[in-house]
Amino acid sequence: MDREDKKLVYILIGLPALIITLFVGVYIGERHAANSILGSGATDTDVVTAAQFAPFWKVWSILDQKYVAAASTTVDDKIYGAIQGLTDSYGDPYTVFFPPTESKMFEEDISGDFEGVGMEIGIKDKQLQVVTPIKGSPADRAGVRAGDYILAIDGTSTASMSSDEAVKLIRGPKGTNVKITFLIQGAGKPVNKVLTRDVINIPTLETSTEPGGIFVIKLYSFTSQSPDLFRSALRDFVVSGDHKLILDLRGNPGGYLDAAWDMASWFLPAGKVVVTEDFGKNGPPNVYRSKGYDIFNSSLDMIILVDNGSASAAEILAGALKEQGVATLVGTKTFGKGSVQELVPITSDTSLKVTVARWLTPNGHNLSHDGLDPDYVVPVSDADIAAHRDPQMDKAVGLLTSEP
């Protein structure tokens, strides 16, 4: 199967997992199995000699002979544990082996699970962290915020826990509770919050206006419906006769690459780079270029609002428009989530999710490694939140209404 025929899916905790071609997050597809570790076609660096692998079998034998509870561990348990140790050695939180139970749960997520607490999580600096809560979800209502660290789930420590393991503990049927221990950035001690799982409704897009003839598009996620909704919002903007636009991507965890690619094309001439899919040593890069809608022809003053909850496709769109000179970024540093994972079947009931590519901005900036730095850094304090102030929006409005 060709790469472009493969499907991608982006998993949100308790949200419908979406499957479509070119979806940012988890790359699902069928690929011929790699050469056997000792098989033909492997390079010298791929081959593991019997001498190198001997310690593994020696430890296996010693554990079988000496460990007091050896009978409670099955052969499959040992093999799965060894594979999980191998994937862990790569130091990538998104490269994960799924034993049968976890693999089945992942497949259920892909088929569309709508119940949970409504927050996207990821790994940042080896710590489980909230990327963003979904508006109106149990997590949002409980005051969970982007950047909060997750220390424990129902009393189980998240130290060294992958995001997929955390999903397994957090997800559950509507009406049930899960206790999560958060550490809020800048806070002195952890906080326990009991969240009641519910059906999650994902908002997509809202429009509004600000004084001074400013049109605002708030985009919550990049779904399959987002391009049509965005086009409709741009039509309203054009009809208004204004030329000042704020695109609010704060708290947007991403979604379909197709959506980000299409949206960028409204502002860029044909051929301009939107994003590059970098496969490293595994093949030539895949470059996504503007489709050339470019309806504004530079007659536009545009600001994009971002924060540490802006991730994945949101970073792709913001990075492209910033580096192509279309928009100015205001807010705080983005999350930094721009890798692509492929799901490879290992056996009939196990699978491997492996990172196969990373997203680079037009200037070659690695989104996974660094995120995006705004042109104007504007933090939001707890006092601002309590007083319902929005200094980031205020800064954007000020920049668009100030005289040159």
Strand-pairing partners, residue 195, are 178
Is there a contact between 214 and 244 (Cβ–Cβ < 8 Å)? yes
Is there a contact between 14 and 118 (Cβ–Cβ < 8 Å)? yes
Is there a contact between 231 and 287 (Cβ–Cβ < 8 Å)? no
Task: Give, for 382, the enclosing helix (H) or strand (E).
Answer: helix 382-386
Is there a contact between 27 and 8 (Cβ–Cβ < 8 Å)? yes
Fold of 115-199: Pdz3 Domain (2.30.42)
Kindly report, as residue ranges, where domains of CATH 2.30.42.10 are found in the chain: 115-199
Kindly report, as residue ranges, where domains of CATH 3.90.226.10 are found in the chain: 205-338+357-401
Angstrom distance (rounded) from CA 146 to CA 158: 17
Model-level pTM?
0.74
Angstrom distance (rounded) from CA 359 to CA 370: 11
- 247: nearest Cα among 328, 304, 331: 304
Percentage, residues of the chain above pLDDT 70: 85
Q: Cβ neighbours of residue 36 under 8 Å, at least 6 residues apart?
A: 42
The CATH number corresponding to 205-338+357-401 among 3.90.226.10, 3.30.70.420, 3.20.20.70, 3.40.50.2300 equals 3.90.226.10
Q: How far is the CA of 89 from the CAs of 82, 280, 356, in angstroms?
A: 11, 19, 16
Is there a contact between 367 and 38 (Cβ–Cβ < 8 Å)? no
pLDDT in tens, 306-342: 999 999 999 999 999 999 999 999 999 999 988 888 8
Strand-pairing partners, residue 119, are 13, 133
pLDDT by position in tens, the chain (length 404):
333 333 333 333 333 333 222 334 443 333 333 333 333 344 445 678 888 989 999 999 998 888 887 567 889 989 999 999 999 999 888 899 999 988 876 665 544 446 889 998 988 878 899 988 988 899 999 999 988 999 999 999 999 888 888 988 998 899 999 999 999 877 778 999 999 999 887 788 999 999 999 999 999 988 888 999 999 999 999 999 889 999 999 999 888 889 999 999 999 999 999 999 999 988 999 999 999 999 997 789 999 999 999 999 999 999 999 999 999 999 999 999 888 888 899 999 999 999 999 999 999 999 987 899 999 999 999 899 888 899 999 999 999 998 54
